[in-house]
Amino acid sequence: MNITDHHRIMVIGANGSGKSFFARKLAEITSLPLTHLDCEFWRPNWQVPTHEEWMERNQELIADKRWIIDGMCSHGGTMELRYAAAELVIILDINRFVCMFGVIKRAGKPREDMPPFLWHSRGPRFLRLCKRALLFNAESQFKSMRETYPETPVFVIHSRREMNRLLNKWSAQF
C-alpha cells in the first residue's frame, strides 16, 4: 500500500494499542495534520461536550481535505461520521495483553500529545481503561462499518513489530 495516496486517515484501536504513537509518526511521515480525539473530546475534570457540540466539532474535523484522526471508536457516537469521510481506516488490532501493558506503562506519566488533565492515574478511570483494553475486539467493533462502507480501504495492523516495520517502510517512501 502506498500511504501517499491517502489524505484522510482514521487510526483506531484499543486503549494502549499505540494509536497516538502511530498517528504521530504517520503525521510526521506524511505531513498530514493530526488530531487526537481525546484532546478534542475531553475537557478539564473529565467533562464532556454536549452531543450537539461534539457532532458539530466532528463535522468541522472531517470537513478538512487532509487529516489524520486518532482515537477510540466510542467517542460520543460519532465514529461513523469519521469512517464515512476517511479515505483509509487503519485499525490497530494489537494483542489485548500488550494493550493492557501499554495502559499500565503510561499511567500517570506526562504525554507530550495530551494536556495534563488527560494523564491517567491509577483510580477508577484507570480500571475502566484496563477493562476496555482487555475486552476490545476489532473484528466485532468494526464489522458493521466495514459492511456499510465497503469502498473504504481498511488496513489492519496486528503487532507493534508490524507497526514499526510499516512506519519505517513508509518513511523510506518520502
Q: Say yes or no to pLDDT of 21 above 90.
A: yes
Query: Considering the entire predicted model, what is its pTM?
Result: 0.87
What span, in angstroms and rounded, lies between the C-alpha atoms of 159 and 163?
A: 6
Q: Say yes or no to pLDDT of 25 above 90.
A: yes
In a 3-state reduction of DSSP, which class is residue 11?
A: strand
Q: What is the pLDDT of residue 74?
A: 59
Q: Say yes or no to pLDDT of 111 above 80.
A: no
What are the extents of the domains in the chain? 3-168
Q: Say yes or no to pLDDT of 86 above 80.
A: yes
**DSSP string across 81-130:** HHHHH-SEEEEE---HHHHHHHHHHHTT---TTS-GGG---SSHHHHHHH
Name the nearest CA neighbour of 109 among 7, 16, 11. Answer: 16
The CATH classification of domain 3-168, taken from the options 3.30.70.100, 3.40.50.1820, 3.40.50.300, 3.40.250.10: 3.40.50.300
Q: What is the four-CA torsion angle of 119, 43, 100, 91, rounded to 10 degrees? A: -130
Q: What is the pLDDT of residues 58-69, one digit of tens each?
A: 999 999 999 999
**Which residue would you say has higher pLDDT here, 115 or 170?**
170
pLDDT band at 89; cut points 50, 70, 90: very high
